Amino acid sequence: MTEDTDTPDDGAPTAGADDLAIDPWGSSTIEDYRSLFEQFGIEEFDEVLPDVAHPHYLMRRAIIFGHRDYRRVVDAMRNDEPFAALSGFMPTGEPHIGHKLVFDELIWHQQQGGDTYALIADLEAHSARGLDWDEIDEHARDYLLSLLAFGFDPEAGTLYRQSTNRRLQDLAFELGIEANFSEFEAIYGFSGETDVSHMQSVVTQAADILYPQLDEPKPTVIPVGPDQDPHIRLTRDLAARMRAFGVTRAYASFEADDAERELIAAAHAALSDEAGGEDDLVRCVEAANWLEREVEPSETRADAIRKLEAAGKEPVRPRVRFLDRNASEEAFAALIEAIDGEKRVFDEHIDAFEIDRASAEELAREVEVAHGDFGFIPPSSIYHRFMTGLTGGKMSSSVPASHISLLDDPEDGYDKVRSATTGGRETAEEQRELGGRPDQCPVYELYAYLLAGDDDEYAQTVYDECAGGERLCGGCKTEAAESMADFLEDHQARREEMREVLEDLDIDLDRQRP
């Protein structure tokens, strides 16, 4: 969740059981973004883009390429309902132009009416990187000044640092009860050599992600690069474990997993149609026979058939099931009372037949919150592409030539762009004949990600002129270098204006440490 690009001292991989390694603390790049859809369940952003009002240019240009459950946030924006956005910054070096992606995403969500949170991940910087507190304080100030300079409204949003936020630390302690070392080992590759403080920083990040929901549950989006997805997946799991109630679909009194329910649902639909829509006429044993006839053999089919046969003549009826996960006796009794219509009460769950899944989720959450529980909504996320370093590879804080710091002298920024690698051909003649390769060009990325701003037509013109051979690399780099120098000059002037604003905020940037 925190934006950073260097490799930790312990070099812990995060592949776990996954074929594709995604390392929140590493310097790996994602060579094939499509594999993220296939292996980790990240959804394509194009699916929700048409429903986003006034999308940011990062969305329009597919720089934000994926999401996890972002439709919750889109619906909240559309219906003028509460939602939040949060991201964090690990103060291990100077903020650079790659970080501007997250600054922009936070500010855009704030402008759409979201409760917006930006945090300094100083505990993580100290534990995972070993930075001393004086360095952390200096870098924290730099990140916050740039965030404010780009337009973050501190009066409408929340700024904090992990080490001074007691509510955050209390939440991390509670989440730690639900986490265990074996899943840290599987997700992050932690071992017996991993510092305990590094493991604590992971739980603290999960608490950061859920922090906007402490006062009330609300859809919350975390803008990140894809290397931070392990934190999102873990936090979504922890949020579910913290719930007093779980809500699932069910078709009979027994428990079934998602894959089994899908098969049982198919059997119910087919047999119900044959019976003229009379649900009570469909029996579990008949559903088992249908699966045996109509579905290819698999372990899931075998398990579903076994459970259906054991239920015998029990009707297969769609229902919503409320599961007692961590509920008090008072909360469980209150939920029973709150469910209208036909219901069946068991020791550890309640089956309701006259409520839809979405309404059931909201009802369970209302009862939880009324009885002092969190009622967390699973956090959503959006994923932006990595900026290519000016020297090729991933832009990294630890490789000065690969990135442009937001604190670089404008002349140095100019020189770095002029020295950048490009997607051009070997000769000008070949470029004019074959065209350039803007999709492989770090300089074109500067236009698309930053220099073209909100002007899609300008970004497209640069692309088309390059691909068509009209634009040569020398002139293109000079144009980009001049724009970069102007950008840095303007940004740094704005940063100076924000120093007084930052000093007046309630955030401690010079803490006394033991």
Does residue 385 lie within any of the structural domains?
A: no
CATH code, domain carrying 149: 3.40.50.620
pLDDT at residue 29 is higher than 90: no
- Report how far apart, in Å, the C-alpha atoms of 177 and of each of 30, 96, 173, 234 are: 33, 36, 7, 14
Q: Give, as one character, the DSSP assignment of residue 90.
A: -
Per-residue pLDDT at 47 exceeds 70: yes
Q: What is the 3-state secondary structure (H, E, C) of 354-388?
A: CCCHHHHHHHHHHHHHHCCCCCCCCCEEEEECCCE
Separation of alpha carbons 24 and 2, rounded Å: 8
**Mean pLDDT score, 430-437:** 93
**Residue numbers of the domain that contains 463:** 400-503
* Mean pLDDT, residues 221-239 taken together: 93
In this predicted model, which residue has the larger pLDDT, 204 or 130?
A: 204
| Co-location of 94 and 220 in the same domain | yes
Query: Within 13 Å of residue 509, how many CA atoms lie on the same side as its CB?
Result: 20
- Res 117 pLDDT > 90: yes
* Rg, Å, the chain Cα set: 26
Residues listed for the chain: 514
Bridge-based pairing state of the strands 84-89 and 220-224:
parallel
351 within some domain: yes
- Does a structural domain hold residue 357? yes
The pLDDT score that the predictor gives to residue 15 is 32
Does residue 36 belong to any structural domain of this protein? Answer: no
What's the pLDDT score for residue 37? 63
Beta strands 84-89 and 115-120 are parallel
Which of 348, 370, 392 is the endpoint of a domain? 370
- Indicate whether 407 belongs to any domain: yes
Residue 393 pLDDT: 73
Instruction: Identify the residue with better confidence: 19 or 315.
Output: 315
> What pLDDT, on a 0 to 100 scale, did the predictor assign at position 36?
63
- DSSP character at residue 343: E
Q: Are residues 362 and 256 in the same domain?
A: yes
Q: Which two tokens stand for residue 209?
A: 């992600």
Mean pLDDT for the stretch of residues 296-325? 96
As a whole number of angstroms, the distance between CA 407 and CA 388 comes to 19
Q: How many CA atoms lie within 13 A of 4 on its CB side?
A: 24
Structure tokens at 163: 């080490």
Nearest CA among 183, 232, 230 for reference residue 21: 230
Q: What is the mean pLDDT of residues 10-22?
A: 36
More confident residue, 227 or 316: 316
Tokens coding 211: 């922090």
How does residue 188 score in pLDDT terms, banded at 50, 70 and 90? confident
Q: Is the pLDDT of residue 253 over 60?
A: yes
Q: Percent of the chain at pLDDT above 90?
A: 76
Q: Is 478 found in the same domain as 443?
A: yes
The amino acid sitting at 363 is L
Residue 21 has pLDDT above 60, yes or no: no
Q: Residue 514's pLDDT is what?
A: 52
pLDDT, one tens digit per residue, over 287-306 is 999 999 999 999 999 999 99
Whole-model pTM?
Answer: 0.87
* Cα–Cα separations (whole angstroms), residue 154 to 106, 117, 224, 503: 12, 9, 21, 12
> How many domains does the structure of the chain reveal?
3
Whether 328 contacts 367, CB under 8 Å = no
**Per-residue pLDDT for 260 more than 90?**
yes
In a domain, 394, yes or no: no
445-475 b/e (C-beta count within 10 Å ≥ 16 → b): bbbbbbbbeeeeeebeebbebbbebebbbee
Quote the tokens at residue 388.
Answer: 């290519």
Q: Could you tell me whether strands 64-68 and 380-384 are parallel, antiparallel, or unpaired per DSSP bridges?
A: antiparallel
The pLDDT of residue 284 is: 96
Residues 6+ apart with CB under 8 A from 40: 18, 20, 22, 229, 233
What residues contact 282, with CB distance under 8 A and at least 6 apart? 268, 271, 272, 275, 315, 316, 317
State the DSSP H helix or E strand holding residue 185, giving kind and residue range, or none if neither: helix 181-188
Residue listed under structure tokens 């409408």: 156
Rounded to whole angstroms, the Cα distance separating 78 from 313 reads 46
Q: Is residue 359 predicted with pLDDT exceeding 50?
A: yes
Mean pLDDT score, 112-122: 96
| CATH code, 497 | 1.10.240.10
The number of C-alpha atoms within 13 Å of 158 and in the hemisphere containing its C-beta is 18
In this prediction, residue 512 carries a pLDDT of 55
Chosen domain end from 207, 242, 277: 242
Give the pLDDT of residue 33.
60
34 confidence band (pLDDT: 50, 70, 90): low
Q: Is the pLDDT of residue 24 over 60?
A: no
Query: How far, in Å, CA of 326 to CA of 235, rounded?
Result: 18
Q: Are residues 250 and 269 in the same domain?
A: yes
Specify the pLDDT at position 11: 34
Query: Are residues 230 and 264 both part of a single domain?
Result: no
Same domain, 200 and 323: no
What pLDDT shows up at residue 80?
Answer: 97
pLDDT for residue 437: 94
CA distance 484 to 502: 25
Residue 510 has pLDDT above 90, yes or no: no
User: DSSP assignment, residue 249?
Assistant: E
Query: What span, in angstroms and rounded, lies between the C-alpha atoms of 507 and 262?
Result: 50
**pLDDT at residue 20 in the model:** 43
Round the average pLDDT of the chain to a whole number and report it.
90
Lowest mean pLDDT among 77-86, 320-329, 395-404, 424-433: 395-404
| CA–CA distance, 466 with 123 (Å, rounded to integer) | 45
Answer yes or no: do 200 and 253 share one domain: no
d(CA 210, CA 371): 19
Tell me, letter by letter, the H, E, C secondary structure of 61-73: CCCEEEEECCHHH
Residue 406 domain flag:
yes
Q: H or E element: which one contains 329?
A: helix 329-338
Question: For 31, phi and psi rounded to 5 degrees?
Answer: -70, -35
The vertex-395 CA angle with 393 and 399, nearest 5°, equals 95
My answer on whether 412 and 329 are in the same domain is no
**Residue 280's pLDDT band (cuts 50, 70, 90):** low
- With a CB cutoff of 8 Å and minimum separation 6, the contacts of 302 are none
The answer on 124 and 235 residing in a single domain is: yes
User: Between helices 133-150 and 473-503, what is the axis angle to 10°?
Assistant: 110
Indicate the pLDDT class of residue 13, thresholds 50, 70 and 90.
very low
Which of 193, 226, 242 is the endpoint of a domain? Answer: 242
Residue 79 CB coordination number (10 Å): 8
Residues 423 and 462 both lie in one domain? yes
User: Model confidence over 462-484: pLDDT tens digits?
Assistant: 999 999 999 999 999 999 999 99
Q: In Å, what is the CA distance from 447 to each residue of 392, 393, 502?
A: 16, 18, 30
Q: Would you place residue 28 in the very low, low, confident or very high pLDDT band (cuts 50, 70, 90)?
A: very low
pLDDT in tens, 165-180: 999 999 999 999 999 9
Q: Does residue 131 belong to any structural domain of this protein?
A: yes
What pLDDT score was predicted for residue 511? 64
Residues 260 and 154 reside in one and the same domain: no
User: Do 361 and 439 fall within a single domain?
Assistant: no
